[in-house]
Structure 1
């Protein structure tokens, strides 16, 4: 009797998450995949089984350009975040002697996550705008006589804004990975005659690779699917794949093409996640 009761309890505990995943993840993905094979029939669309929507995505230059731009922006955001986050996390873990200072600096990095995403994006629009803080400073300093519009509505503004928004997701996994590196390894490397740069290259970087992979994946995937920040600061160059999907499901009323775009986007993200997971597993095995 107790065994049956335990099995029922286990089924209920496991069943609720499974039902949730089925109803709110797998089922919507299935519907999306089904729509991607339908055809648009003005003013709506009708069921069919054809690959015309996917053919459009890979033959129409405008969609290829948007896809390439999105991949490029996401890669730049991830690379910039890594270049900023890695030295910061390294200093916190290995060089910061004050535990209180380390805690406060770490909290300062993740504190923006508690602030509205829209507000964080608007901050950089305010800073980079023609009447923003940066232009006001340049005029005050006498560097320029009139406000410049080169800081806003371009790919530089998008990379800067998205890096600011998503850099906490790069810092956290790298910091966590570095904290798990045994200190006796770095001490042993010094005893064996390695200089600090050799210790960094042969011990610190390889052992922190799972954190780098996780941070790069999070930052890349979040940037890849973002459309609010590019809309606010991107201008003509802010048309990324998520914006095109939103347009297809909205004003264009072309759900089949929007679904095909979503499936392509999902495949790319899952490929990145799978690649990252493989790197993390190899890193864990190496440790």
Structure 2
């Protein structure tokens, strides 16, 4: 018992600094937003009394509902595109690339992290712009006479930009999950007469689902809170719920209403993430 208590004390001392950091940097801001969402807004000040009017106003606002649905749609498209494109890359890296070259490939995948997220968004604006790289290249090849105007300031350009930005976040967890798969299981499946496709469907994919799940959550959740890309790539014409929060917090200076919108969005995302976890467990139970 004494040794166990000593080990527990050592473990507590080891996790104390990051735990304190997490409480200060994550829990306190969240509690602050939650507190603001239950108070009234006054002219250039706040009225410190409990109320649910902010949440009633949020759910009664058709603009919020429209932006929330748009944000969910964009987040789903970005997540789907990112994970579908990331899985073959992770599979190639895990099963095809020789072990001595895997470190180099991982190094190349992490190169986008070397530059600021804002710079990467601006680069996509340069690529997709009216006089950007794509239009200039097509004109120089004689394929078009006038620049294509539909490449930028639409939902598709936002999805492409976000999918590129979060691609490394999807590739790495899927790769880790694939690396943990016992190769003898795949060989056993083929020895039993299964084709490569069926072995992938019945063995590889279920065992890789923890990585896929992590990739989905890592991409979906921050995409819902992105407001830079809709502003720059969408030209401000396709706002999302994060842009509404930013407007209430900064431009309108209505922090209680902005906090209520933020809390509501977090609750919706949490419920959807929980539903996805439940469906994933049912999928794995059926496959096994």
TM-score relative to the length of structure 2: 0.88
CA distance in 2, matches of 1:234, 1:19: 38
CA distance in 2, matches of 1:184, 1:4: 40
CA distance in 1, matches of 2:253, 2:231: 20
Unaligned runs of 5+ in 1: none
CA 1:234–1:6: 2 relative to 1, 3 Å: same
Structure 1 residue 34 corresponds to structure 2 residue 35 = yes
- In structure 1, the residue matched to 2:164 is 164
Q: CA offset at residue 230 of structure 1? A: 1.8
- In structure 2, the residue matched to 1:183 is 183
CA distance in 2, matches of 1:8, 1:104: 40
- In structure 2, the residue matched to 1:155 is 155
Alignment of 1:186-225 (within 5 A): 186-225=186-225
CA distance in 1, matches of 2:206, 2:54: 43
Q: CA offset at residue 10 of structure 1? A: 6.1
Contact 2:230 2:236 in 1 (8 A): no
The RMSD of aligned alpha carbons is: 2.7
203-212 vs 111-120, which moves further: 111-120
Structure 1 residue 70 corresponds to structure 2 residue 71 = yes
Cα deviation digits, residues 196-220 of structure 1 (max 9, x gap): 1110110011111111100010010
CA distance in 1, matches of 2:54, 2:61: 10
CA distance in 1, matches of 2:23, 2:207: 37
Q: CA offset at residue 156 of structure 1? A: 0.6
CA distance in 2, matches of 1:230, 1:180: 37
Secondary structure (helix, strand or coil) at the match of 2:110 reads: helix
CA distance in 2, matches of 1:4, 1:207: 36
Cα deviation digits, residues 168-193 of structure 1 (max 9, x gap): 11101111111111111111111101
Unaligned runs of 5+ in 2: none
- In structure 1, the residue matched to 2:258 is 258
CA distance in 2, matches of 1:197, 1:214: 24
